[in-house]
Amino acid sequence: MANDTERIKEQMLGAMIGLSVGDALGVPVEFKSRDSLARNPVTGMRGYGTHKQPPGTWSDDTSMALCLLDSLANGLDHTDIMKKFLSWYKDDEYTPHGIRFDMGGGTGRALNRFARGTEPLQCGGITENDNGNGSLMRILPLAFYLRSRYGNNYTDNDGSYEIIHNVSSLTHAHKRSLIACGIYLTIAERILDGDDLNTGIRSGINKAKSYYEKREEFAEDLDHYRRLFLDKFADFNQDQIPSSGYVVDTLEASVWCLLNTGSYKECVLKGVNLGRDTDTTGAVAGGIAGIYYGYDAIPKEWIDETARTDYIKDLCDKLSGALTRAQA
């Protein structure tokens, strides 16, 4: 049990520091074009830029993931998750420097609905235009909760997908967003269980695809992920990989970066230098890369420059301790 507990803590730390560092690398160049970054690529932590923030500042991606991480330490409670999101939105909690400076439109609309009294699971947008990456970017902590609840192969239990969909639906309830979160956390399952990176990504994608193919209500939106299901997806040229804030683009770009690099550093830099939604590609790819390569593989100078890493570590300890006690 002691070894398992330490392994969970290490994986969680890799995931959350990996996510936050990738996020922080992307913040100064968010919305920059791929061409401009090709001329002046990100090679390490920068400051100011797009959001005029100091080096190492992470964005809403990390803030909302930390809200979820903190809430899960007390069990799964949709109302509590939303209250923590609202404390970030309204009161600047869970921020790197005490000020919230970035938020997606879909997330803002959902949190305003909650503030007006809408039930948590009714808050997320359900239209075609509600498929930004705002739930995908923050969903990774849920993998650790699901693993504790259902075991290493947590998506063998259909209840895992229901939980994933509900946690996404707090802000993003369209089926395309639910599928993205489902695929991503099924990949996380395989990497957490010790698969090598390429095998884990492919087996995770195929396992999620099998689940959604059996459910007619997902058929139309599953087709939007058809490129990801191709065995040759990793061989696509960079020019074929969009990196916008659209949830399909973010998942594709993150998976492509993971498949085409051999280290945490190389992965997140490739993601950030794709341009456009740089912080979220860095965060989504960085979370999985952090699990696979481990905390110690993240450049120390980047960790040292990233805001509030001690705070992130404390929240990881809080959740890992709670999950260990729940299993005792």
d(CA 41, CA 265): 14
Each residue's pLDDT tens digit, 276-285? 999 999 999 9
- Whole-number pLDDT of residue 7: 87
Q: In terms of pTM, does the model score above 0.95?
A: yes
- Whole-number pLDDT of residue 102: 92
What is the band of 212 on the pLDDT scale with cuts at 50, 70, 90?
very high
- Whole-number pLDDT of residue 327: 80
Tell me the pLDDT of the chain averaged across its residues. 97
Q: Which residues, including other chains, have CB under 8 Å from residue 230's CB and lie 6 or more apart?
A: none
Q: Taking 90 as the threshold, does the pLDDT of residue 172 lie above it? A: yes
Query: 153-185 as b/e, with b when 16 or more CB fall inside 10 Å?
Result: ebbeeeebbebbbbbbbbbbbbbbbbbbbbbbb
Token representation of residue 50: 């797009």
d(CA 63, CA 300): 21
- Whole-number pLDDT of residue 5: 77
Q: Which residues, including other chains, have CB under 8 Å from residue 198's CB and lie 6 or more apart?
A: 234, 259
Q: Taking 60 as the threshold, does the pLDDT of residue 111 lie above it? A: yes
108 class by beta-carbon count within 10 Å (0-12 exposed, 13-18 middle, 19+ buried): middle
What is the band of 272 on the pLDDT scale with cuts at 50, 70, 90?
very high
Each residue's pLDDT tens digit, 128-166? 999 999 999 999 999 999 999 999 999 999 999 999 999
Each residue's pLDDT tens digit, 14-29? 999 999 999 999 999 9
Return the closest-CA partner of residue 291 out of 70, 16, 20: 16
Asked if 48 contacts 54 with a C-beta cutoff of 8 angstroms, the reply is yes
Each residue's pLDDT tens digit, 66-106? 999 999 999 999 999 999 999 999 999 999 999 999 999 99
d(CA 31, CA 243): 10
Find residue 311's DSSP bridge partners.
none
Q: Taking 50 as the threshold, does the pLDDT of residue 269 lie above it? A: yes
- Whole-number pLDDT of residue 3: 67
Asked if 121 contacts 269 with a C-beta cutoff of 8 angstroms, the reply is no
Tell me which residue has tokens 């992130």.
Answer: 312
d(CA 181, CA 184): 5
Token representation of residue 33: 């074009």
What is the band of 325 on the pLDDT scale with cuts at 50, 70, 90?
confident
Token representation of residue 277: 């939604």
Mind listing the domains of the chain with CATH numbers? 2-43+53-121+131-327 (1.10.4080.10)
- Whole-number pLDDT of residue 1: 47
